[in-house]
Amino acid sequence: MAQVKFFSGQQFPLEMHKVRIIQKLNLLPIEERLEAIQGAGYNTFLLQNQDVFLDMLTDSGVNAMSQEQQAAMFRADDAYAGSATYTRLHNKLVEIFGMEYFLPAHQGRAAENILSRSLIRPDTFIPMNYHFTTTKQHIVVNGGTVLELIAPEGLEVESEHPFKGNFDVPALRQLIADEGAEKISFVRMEAGTNLIGGQPFSLDNLEEVSAVCREHGIPLVLDASLLADNLYFMKVREERCRDMSIAEITRAMADASDIVYFSARKLGFGRGGGICIREESLYKQMRGLVPMFEGFLTYGGMSVREMEAITVGLDETLDFDMINQGPQFIEYMVRELAKRGVPVITPPGGLGAHVNAMKFLEHVPQQQYPAGALASAIFLASGVRGMERGTMSEQRDPDGVEPLADMELVRLALPRRVFTLSQVNYAVDRIDWLYQRRDLIGGMRWVEEPEILRFFYGRLEPVTDWPTRLMEEFRKDFGDSL
Ligand SMILES: *Cc1c(COP(=O)(O)O)cnc(C)c1O
């Protein structure tokens, strides 16, 4: 891991790849951005991509492929059953994770569906470091109860703790003592904890959780969707990992787990997913659900071309120079925002920069969705599309009571290997401006509120006409600039 130093003493991230295919971008004038966000019901998920300048909504399925991935797609073996493409993917997964069995699925949540249906016993708990939206939904629908046992530092917004995704191991021991191991269907560890800012856990922590699980015969399930970022942080932040290769760290993580599932929309720079399983009995328990929900066992709803790309992408995940661009760009963006006083989650994690909307918009009550309002304001000010990760992303309880999220965040994802540093600088500049004008931003309310996963397709409106006032202020400060 050679870090390039600069003569100026100023340190900035340096891409270890070059761009050979481009996509032209569109930056609309602010008047048209206002029309676009109104048309989208102030929900960034409902924007048309052609109205977006920098799409920082997600890192899912939008990471840049390498020339090796693209080349591999040409040799895809189209067969309903027994495709050679499947064998190549399966062999690669066995090589990386050392688990004999693999069930393909069309994306991460499909893997969660299969896992939850087959492993959750009625009235049991599923303890985890932190939930993910689709994971929680699948667990609840199958009669399980999610328990978040994140170590206390995980919910401190500003911190320099290197592993805020760590599991609270004493709390797990306590739970087992209170309820008994049979009340726990499985324990779930999420790499690169998505909803609390892409924060990693340490290898030590995973191994401690694993030891408790093994002592009590509870399966440990690793959600490896954001594994690449977690691997990067283990390598640079955890003493014992410094001299290990990325492949060795990966294998140590898998060795601690019984099941590893992933969204290949993130891990492997492709589009797909699957479940790696160590024990035959668990494999057989889940297998029947794949042909029922996904497709035959040798494609599971994935295109064979994507499977070839994922096989190569998984190999690239073991190359430090191929996984460091995301976390290093995110660190740069977070530090630049923080320098300007913008409240952000620290330390920088994976996935993207996370703006703390609770503090950015102190004057907006949580019931008026500060993170949702800020995501709309950022789009207006810049054409940058981020994602609300706060109360809107939660779901009402059956009695209609709305739980308030632990954090109100706007996530500005940096898809892997996609953006340039000047694009990051542009986003920082516009968010800096917005922060100086934050008093103009107001709250939101629902116009249409779906019952399930409401943040994906619900529609909102501003509680006052603040978006118009913000646009007028933009024109005063920027003249006729885009
Ligand atoms: C994205 C994600 C999922 C779900 O994967 P999809 O491919 O989007 O269905 C599950 N877990 C984590 C941690 C994720 O980031």
479 φψ region: left (φ > 0), alpha (ψ -120 to 50), beta (else): left
Q: Could you tell me where the DSSP H helices lie in 133-259?
A: 133-141, 169-179, 203-216, 227-237, 246-255
Spatial CA neighbour of 350 closest among 195, 209, 241, 149: 195
450-462 per-position pLDDT tens digit: 988 899 999 999 9
* Ligand 1 neighbour 273 (Cβ under 6 A): yes
Choice from 116, 134, 310 to test ligand 1 binding pocket (greatest atom count within 8 A of CB): 134
Mean pLDDT calculated for residue range 460-468: 98
Please identify which residue in the block is written with the tokens 């971008």: 25
At 117 the pLDDT is 98
Q: Say whether 132 is catalytic.
A: yes
Mean pLDDT calculated for residue range 254-268: 98
Q: Say whether 12 is catalytic.
A: no
Q: 388 and 455 in contact (C-beta within 8 Å)?
A: yes
Task: Indicate if the pLDDT at residue 46 is higher than 90.
Answer: yes
Q: Say whether 173 is catalytic.
A: no
* Ligand 1 neighbour 268 (Cβ under 6 A): no
Task: Indicate if the pLDDT at residue 3 is higher than 80.
Answer: no
Q: How many residues are there in the chain?
A: 482
Choice from 106, 129, 132, 393 to test ligand 1 binding pocket (greatest atom count within 8 A of CB): 132
In angstroms, rounded to a whole number, what is the distance separating the alpha carbons of residues 404 and 385?
23
CA of 267 to the centre of ligand 1 (A): 10
* Ligand 1 neighbour 406 (Cβ under 6 A): no
At 2 the pLDDT is 58
Cα distances (Å, whole numbers) of residue 242 to 17, 239, 399: 23, 6, 50
Spatial CA neighbour of 209 closest among 198, 200, 197, 221: 221
367-404 per-position pLDDT tens digit: 999 999 999 999 999 999 999 999 999 989 889 999 99
Q: Say whether 477 is catalytic.
A: no
Q: Say whether 360 is catalytic.
A: no
* Ligand 1 neighbour 137 (Cβ under 6 A): no
66-107 per-position pLDDT tens digit: 999 999 999 999 999 999 999 999 999 999 999 999 999 999
63-74 per-position pLDDT tens digit: 999 999 999 999
Which protein residue has the closest C-alpha to ligand 1 atom 10? Answer: 108
Tokens for 346? Answer: 């620290």
DSSP H or E stretch at residue 382: helix 370-382
At 58 the pLDDT is 96
Q: What radius of gyration, in Å, describes the C-alpha atoms of the chain?
A: 22
Tokens for 110? Answer: 């499909």
Q: Which amino acid is at 189?
A: M
Q: What sign has the CA pseudo-torsion 8, 9, 11, 14? A: positive
Q: What sign has the CA pseudo-torsion 382, 388, 390, 395? A: positive
Q: 443 and 462 in contact (C-beta within 8 Å)?
A: yes
Spatial CA neighbour of 188 closest among 145, 155, 152, 157: 145
293: helix, strand or coil: helix
| DSSP code for 129 | S
Q: Say whether 420 is catalytic.
A: no
Task: Indicate if the pLDDT at residue 1 is higher than 60.
Answer: no
* Ligand 1 neighbour 265 (Cβ under 6 A): yes
Q: Please state the φ and ψ torsions of residue 353, each to the nearest 5 degrees.
A: -85, 140
